Structure 1
Amino acid sequence: MKDIKVLGSGCASCKNTIALIEAVAQEAGVGVQVEKVQDMAAIIGYGVMATPGVVVDGKVVHAGGVPSRDKIRAWLD
């Protein structure tokens, strides 16, 4: 089970990122727990200045824009 946090204000890109992560995980047969983090202090605490940001198992792996399906697959491996 991968613990994934999507950091952002709740904008369309953040929502699309969550949906894409869930879809790719389902296709790959990988269990994920996706949490939406909207608290700006928490987001800045991760060092993310451009949203959406993505944190996988405690490590920031992406910031700014919707990630590609290939990038998401790599996080799930």
Structure 2
Amino acid sequence: MDWIVYQRDDCHLCDEALAVLAEAGWPEFDSVFIDEDEALEARYGLHVPVLQHRRSGRELRWPFDAATARAFLQDVV
């Protein structure tokens, strides 16, 4: 898959981001939970959720709405 959503367990903002991505008609993505990974924890900390395009490394950090997510998708692909 081309997309990754970095998130945490029990994260209400992450749940909101997933709902926004569903509203935006987002393509499939991998969910990566940063809680158990020290490197990801150091990189993202409290900045989750983060949507990342795997190949380019470009990221969209929360907060974002469906229109912003769709614009990001169009800009990256």
TM-score bracket for the superposition, by shorter chain length: 0.5 to 0.7
Cα RMSD for the two superposed structures: 2.7
Counterpart contact for 1:56–1:75, Cα < 8 Å: no
Q: TM-score, normalised by structure 2?
A: 0.65
Dislocated runs of 4+, deviation >4 Å: none
The offset of 1:46, in angstroms, is: 8.9
How many residues end up aligned between the 2 structures? 70
SS at match of 2:64: coil
Q: Which residue of 1 aligns with 2:51?
A: 54
- Alignment partner for residue 33 of structure 1, among 28, 34, 50? 28
Q: In 2, Cα distance between the equivalents of 1:35 and 1:43?
A: 18
Counterpart contact for 2:24–2:67, Cα < 8 Å: no
Name structure 1 gaps, 5 residues minimum: 27-31
Identity level (%) = 14
1:6 aligns with 2:9: no
Higher helix share: 2
Name structure 2 gaps, 5 residues minimum: none
Counterpart contact for 2:34–2:41, Cα < 8 Å: no
Higher strand share: 1
Q: In 2, Cα distance between the equivalents of 1:73 and 1:43?
A: 29
Counterpart contact for 1:20–1:69, Cα < 8 Å: yes
1:17 counterpart letter in structure 2: A
Counterpart contact for 1:8–1:43, Cα < 8 Å: no
